[in-house]
Amino acid sequence: MIKRIPGLNLANPIHLLAFGFGSGVVPKAPGTWGTLVAVPIFLLMQDLSLSVYLGLVVVITALGIWLCDVTAKDLGVHDHPGIVWDEIAGYLITMIAAPSGWLWWVIGFVLFRLFDILKPWPIRAIDKGIDGGLGIMLDDVLAGFIALACLQLLAYFFV
C-alpha cells in the first residue's frame, strides 16, 4: 500500500527523482527500496570507464543536493524518509571500482544499508548537524565512502 504524502507531487520531475522514481512512497523501509532502485542504475554504469563512472557519480550527487533541498522545502519536512536520491548516490559511491558479479553487488548493498541505518560516528554527527539538501545527501555520501572502503578491503583480501 502506498501512503499519501502531503505536498508530494510525483508528476513533478524533481519530486519523482528525489523519491527514487516513486520508490520512496513505500511505507516500510523506503531507504532500502531507494537503494534497490540504485542497483539497475549501477548495472547500467558498471562497464563505463572509471573516470566516466566517477563523473556521473559526482553529477548524481551534486544534482541530489538540489533535488533533495527543493523536495524537502516543498514537503515542509527536513529529510523526509521518502527522499531516497541520497541512497541512490550512496550505493553508487559504494560500488566505485567494485569487483564484478552479483555477490559483490549484494555485499555492497548490505554494507551501504548497514552504515546508512546504523550511522556510526561521524555519519550521525553530520546527519544531525547540517541542514538542507547538503545535509540530506552528506550522511549517505559518507556512508557510501565507508562502505566503499570496506568493500575494497574485502575484495583485496578475498579476490
pTM: 0.95
Per-residue confidence (pLDDT) for residue 122, from 0 to 100: 86
Mean pLDDT of 49-69: 98
67-116: per-residue pLDDT in tens?
Answer: 999 999 999 998 899 999 999 999 999 999 999 999 999 999 999 999 99
pLDDT at 65 over 70: yes
pLDDT at 152 over 70: yes
pLDDT at 3 over 70: no
Q: Between 2 and 125, name the one with better pLDDT.
A: 125
- C-alpha cell of residue 106: 549484494
| Distance, CA of 76 to CA of 58 (rounded, Å) | 27
- Scanning the chain, the segments in alpha helix (DSSP H) are 13-18, 30-45, 50-75, 85-94, 102-118, 123-129, 132-158
pLDDT at 56 over 80: yes
| Distance, CA of 119 to CA of 108 (rounded, Å) | 16
